[in-house]
Chain A
Amino acid sequence: MPANNAIMTKNEGAVKRPGLPLRRSLSSLVGTSEAGLKASHFRRPWLAAGLLAPQLLILLFFFFIPTWKALSLAFVQVDPFGGTMIFVGLENFTTLFSSPEYRDSAILTLWFTVVQCIATLVIAGLLAFATDNVMRGRAIYKGVILLPYAIAPAISGVLWAFLFNPTVGPLAQMLHELGLAWDPNRRPFDALLLVSVAAIWKHVCYDYIFLVAAFLAVPASVMEAAAIDGARPVRRFLTVTLPMAAPTIFFLIVMNFVYGLFETFGIIDTVTRGGPAGSTNTLVYKVYQDGFRQLDLGSSAAQSVILMAIAVLFTFLQFRAVERKVNYQV
């Protein structure tokens, strides 16, 4: 009832004002609550449809049509120009699953995503914890941490690639002087490390800003109570702040996974191009490589369908977990 009342008052106010046909008609269109319906609803369905239309159109053009295209391409082999098309059934998928390259890419992606997710969260958590305890120059501190987010992934990728280039990069020279055989062109682990560090560096600020907000949202009264009980800052952080920030942390874990799986594309393209020998060729980069560089549209579409399934799975997990398990009310 209260929510409904609010809407009604607003609409009555609008009626008095002439010359606004849309608002005037709204009051007659928006009905009151009825048994079995939500708090308010539209009497005439076309208005609701009209208001939903922009969002639906966006979904149609940027989600449903591409999804349909990907699905329809995943079961064919096709000339890039669309001249010939042969239906091959599940062949694109069976070829993928029997290919050691694809398996390697999947394992690599899992490793990369998990490491990136944990490292980003831990570093961002430490930095956010420190923010609470920085007294002077807090704005500068925050500014410096947030800066990487303002740099385009491609630019930051080029930067990392150059700094650690074994032949000309200044940081690589330093590593060589320390006696390390650093060479991301020839040592797969070095390449993977470089890509991971670049990806983490780029994403820490995202996690950081959410964590700072989450930590700030912990009620001062609870913290004070803990302090009076004799808990020191680190203990307060671990036993009070962290559990209360759990929903945010869970959200960030999901976002980090999505980032690692889908959005590190630009960094990989500029830092290693998936090499050497496919050692940094993650699933999403492989979709691009096979589809856009090599024009094997069928296989690329099959790969994106698999990725889409993974994304759906993640969304499902997130909703279930957020709604059931990780929910703290104060």
Chain B
Amino acid sequence: MASTYVKSITGLLAASALLMGATGATAADRVKIEWWYAISGKLGDTVQQLISDFNKSQDKYEVVGTFKGNYEETLAAMVAAYRVSQQPAILQSAERGFMTMLNSGAIIPVDQLMAKQGYKTDWNDFIKPVAGFYIVNGKPAALPFNSSTPILWYNADAFKAAGFDAPSDTWQGLEKQLYALKEKKVTDCSMALPGDFQWSLIENYSAINNYPFATKANGYAGLDTEFVYNKTGVVGQVARLKKWVDDGVLKIAGQGVAPISLFTSGTCATIINSTASHSGVEADAKFKWSAAVMPHEAGADVRNGTIGGASLWAVKGKSEEVQAGVAAFFNFVAQPDTQEWWSKATGYVPVTNAAYQKMKAEGYFKDHPTREIAIEQLSRGEPTDNSRGFRFGNHNQSTAILIEEIQAVWTGKKTPQEALDSSVKRGNEILRQYEKLHAGK
């Protein structure tokens, strides 16, 4: 018995060794570059297309892209892998994980990598809001890859039926329109609540209306930042959303249903969602749709929105050969041609001025006006400390707390003020914990 097991095990080992040898032989001369990314569906297909384009473009490196779940799951996978030295060479990480990655000690700043490998990248060419987020002390930490911002999507047919040309540019005006849509029974629901509402309806809302979200320039000026959004217009915003939810104007999609599908199916007339929804909406919406910049408070000092999406990080602990491959891939991604193709295929913002100007010169935005809305929103007004972006340690954690507390408003357990007070208090504990761990950084 025992010997049979031993035999079959050795057999298996031999077979797998042979198999590995065989596959190794066919692609032996190519250096494998592992890339973990976090976008799926139609956008995921486009990522695979990007990878195969790169692999075809040269014969030295082979990028192997693996989808690792959503942003949080991908970061968790990275953490687990890094602790046992099985990390990928490239990681796509969301803007929310920026500080975690930046101070992790697990990354090579992208400018160092590119300079060392002999690439000259023009870091000044990145469009302002993108550069403003990823550039730390004059140098980029990660390569901006897929950048987005939330915009207001609307069902043009439904708006016309209700007697409106376009959504109002203020929240007050939009409120009237949404209630009118409901009263005239044009659509079942007026607005769908996005899954990442804390990003679009709280953080971006705060930036656009020029409210401080936290002290120390929203964390840009130091780790000793503290949340203050419980003392600004955000309280009124949450109260408004609560009223809309209660009145059936704003629908929560819930588990198992993508909020954007409530819009594309025609169930809800509007949704404030990422500009990266373009590829999906273009494919699925069977009605006349359009988009607009996010509304602002009447009489507000209107500023730019902030970027979301993710960037590419070069991960430490890989051979020189692999690092050269990472740099080659980054260089490929940063090319204006690649940027233009990527932006057109997905709806993400073209991250460099070169790509943006190229698309503009071609007249692309004349044919696809909604594609330019994101850029328009990102470059509204001169950026202030309140609108540059958010740099918080453990931002995923404080975000989860914010969502949980606002859910307590939906359920009626807390008033908007109580929920935000508690969210700020718990969030500040997270910030202090991070500050303690990263003192001196």
**Chain A residues proximal to chain B, CB less than 8 Å:** 22, 77-84, 86, 101, 158, 161-162, 165-168, 184-188, 270-273, 275-279, 289, 292-296
**Chain B residues proximal to chain A, CB less than 8 Å:** 2, 72-73, 75-76, 79, 82-83, 100, 103-106, 189, 245, 251-257, 262, 267, 394, 396-397, 400, 404-405, 407-408, 410-413, 433, 436-438
Give the complex CA separation of A83 and B254 in angstroms. 37
Give the complex CA separation of A272 and B404 in angstroms. 12
| Contact for B256 among A162, A275, A276, CB less than 8 A | A162
A167-B251, A186-B245, A277-B404 known; A295+B411 contact, CB < 8 A: no
A80-B79, A81-B79 known; A188+B411 contact, CB < 8 A: yes
The closest CB in chain B to the CB of A91 belongs to: B433
Do B400 and A293 touch across chains, with their CB atoms under 8 A apart?
Answer: yes
Do A77 and B437 touch across chains, with their CB atoms under 8 A apart?
Answer: yes
A161-B256, A167-B257, A276-B410 known; A81+B397 contact, CB < 8 A: no
Do A79 and B256 touch across chains, with their CB atoms under 8 A apart?
Answer: no
Do A86 and B394 touch across chains, with their CB atoms under 8 A apart?
Answer: no
| Contact for A79 among B2, B262, B437, CB less than 8 A | B437
A79-B103, A84-B438, A86-B437 known; A294+B82 contact, CB < 8 A: no
Do B255 and A271 touch across chains, with their CB atoms under 8 A apart?
Answer: yes
Do A83 and B105 touch across chains, with their CB atoms under 8 A apart?
Answer: yes
The closest CB in chain A to the CB of B100 belongs to: A80
| Contact for A84 among B408, B410, B437, CB less than 8 A | B437
Do B100 and A158 touch across chains, with their CB atoms under 8 A apart?
Answer: no
Residues of A within 8 A of B433 (CB): 77
Taking A165-B255, A167-B253, A293-B396 as known contacts, 16 extra A-B pairs with beta carbons closer than 8 A to each other, sorted by chain A number, are A77-B437, A81-B105, A162-B256, A162-B257, A167-B189, A167-B254, A167-B262, A185-B252, A185-B254, A188-B413, A271-B255, A277-B404, A277-B408, A277-B411, A294-B396, A295-B397
Do B410 and A293 touch across chains, with their CB atoms under 8 A apart?
Answer: no
Do A165 and B396 touch across chains, with their CB atoms under 8 A apart?
Answer: no
Do B75 and A22 touch across chains, with their CB atoms under 8 A apart?
Answer: no
What would be 14 A-B contacts, judged by CB atoms less than 8 Å apart? A77-B433, A81-B106, A83-B106, A165-B253, A167-B254, A167-B257, A167-B267, A186-B410, A186-B412, A272-B255, A277-B404, A277-B405, A292-B73, A294-B72
Do B397 and A296 touch across chains, with their CB atoms under 8 A apart?
Answer: yes
**Chain A interface helix/strand/loop/mixed:** loop
Residues of B within 8 A of A277 (CB): 404-405, 407-408, 410-411, 413
Do A294 and B436 touch across chains, with their CB atoms under 8 A apart?
Answer: no
Give the complex CA separation of A329 and B364 in angstroms. 84
Do A293 and B256 touch across chains, with their CB atoms under 8 A apart?
Answer: no
Interface centre among A79, A279, A292 (most CB of B within 10 A): A79
The closest CB in chain A to the CB of B434 belongs to: A79
Residues of B within 8 A of A84 (CB): 437-438
A83-B105, A86-B436, A279-B411 known; A158+B2 contact, CB < 8 A: no
Do A278 and B105 touch across chains, with their CB atoms under 8 A apart?
Answer: no
Do A273 and B255 touch across chains, with their CB atoms under 8 A apart?
Answer: yes
Do B254 and A165 touch across chains, with their CB atoms under 8 A apart?
Answer: yes
Residues of A within 8 A of B104 (CB): 79-81, 83
| Contact for A82 among B2, B83, B103, B189, CB less than 8 A | B83
Do B404 and A278 touch across chains, with their CB atoms under 8 A apart?
Answer: yes
Residues of A within 8 A of B413 (CB): 188, 277
Do B253 and A295 touch across chains, with their CB atoms under 8 A apart?
Answer: no
Residues of B within 8 A of A275 (CB): 404, 407
The closest CB in chain A to the CB of B405 belongs to: A277
Do B254 and A296 touch across chains, with their CB atoms under 8 A apart?
Answer: no
| Contact for A270 among B75, B82, B256, CB less than 8 A | B256
For residue B400, give the distance in angstroms from its CB to the closest CB of chain A.
6
Residues of B within 8 A of A270 (CB): 255-256
| Contact for A165 among B79, B106, B256, B437, CB less than 8 A | B256
Do A295 and B103 touch across chains, with their CB atoms under 8 A apart?
Answer: no
Do B394 and A295 touch across chains, with their CB atoms under 8 A apart?
Answer: yes
Residues of B within 8 A of A165 (CB): 253-257
Residues of A within 8 A of B396 (CB): 293-295
Do B83 and A295 touch across chains, with their CB atoms under 8 A apart?
Answer: no
Give the complex CA separation of A295 and B394 in angstroms. 8
Give the complex CA separation of A44 and B262 in angstroms. 71
Residues of A within 8 A of B245 (CB): 186
Question: Which 4 A-B residue pairings sit nearest by Cβ, starting from the closest?
Answer: A161-B256, A277-B408, A277-B407, A83-B105
Do B76 and A292 touch across chains, with their CB atoms under 8 A apart?
Answer: yes
For residue A99, give the distance in angstroms from its CB to the closest CB of chain B.
9
Do A276 and B437 touch across chains, with their CB atoms under 8 A apart?
Answer: no
Give the complex CA separation of A106 and B50 in angstroms. 47
A84-B437, A276-B407 known; A293+B254 contact, CB < 8 A: no
Interface centre among A81, A84, A270 (most CB of B within 10 A): A81
Interface centre among A80, A186, A292 (most CB of B within 10 A): A80
A81-B105, A294-B396 known; A161+B254 contact, CB < 8 A: yes
Give the complex CA separation of A145 and B76 in angstroms. 38
Give the complex CA separation of A166 and B262 in angstroms. 12
For residue B72, give the distance in angstroms from its CB to the closest CB of chain A.
5
| Contact for B254 among A82, A184, A292, CB less than 8 A | A184
Residues of B within 8 A of A158 (CB): 256
Give the complex CA separation of A135 and B274 in angstroms. 60
Do A295 and B79 touch across chains, with their CB atoms under 8 A apart?
Answer: yes
Do A289 and B400 touch across chains, with their CB atoms under 8 A apart?
Answer: yes
| Contact for B100 among A184, A187, A276, A295, CB less than 8 A | A295
The closest CB in chain A to the CB of B439 belongs to: A84
A80-B79, A185-B252 known; A168+B257 contact, CB < 8 A: yes
Give the complex CA separation of A86 and B439 in angstroms. 11
For residue B413, give the distance in angstroms from its CB to the closest CB of chain A.
6
Residues of A within 8 A of B437 (CB): 77-79, 84, 86
A186-B411, A276-B411, A295-B394 known; A166+B106 contact, CB < 8 A: no
Do B394 and A294 touch across chains, with their CB atoms under 8 A apart?
Answer: yes
For residue B92, give the distance in angstroms from its CB to the closest CB of chain A.
17
The closest CB in chain A to the CB of B104 belongs to: A81
Give the complex CA separation of A296 and B396 in angstroms. 10
Residues of B within 8 A of A272 (CB): 255
The closest CB in chain B to the CB of A159 belongs to: B256
Give the complex CA separation of A77 and B257 in angstroms. 36
Do B438 and A79 touch across chains, with their CB atoms under 8 A apart?
Answer: yes
For residue B237, give the distance in angstroms from its CB to the closest CB of chain A.
18
Give the complex CA separation of A166 and B189 in angstroms. 12
For residue B351, give the distance in angstroms from its CB to the closest CB of chain A.
26
Residues of B within 8 A of A82 (CB): 82-83
Give the complex CA separation of A235 and B404 in angstroms. 51
For residue A142, give the distance in angstroms from its CB to the closest CB of chain B.
30
For residue A284, give the distance in angstroms from its CB to the closest CB of chain B.
17
Residues of A within 8 A of B400 (CB): 289, 293-294
Residues of B within 8 A of A296 (CB): 394, 397
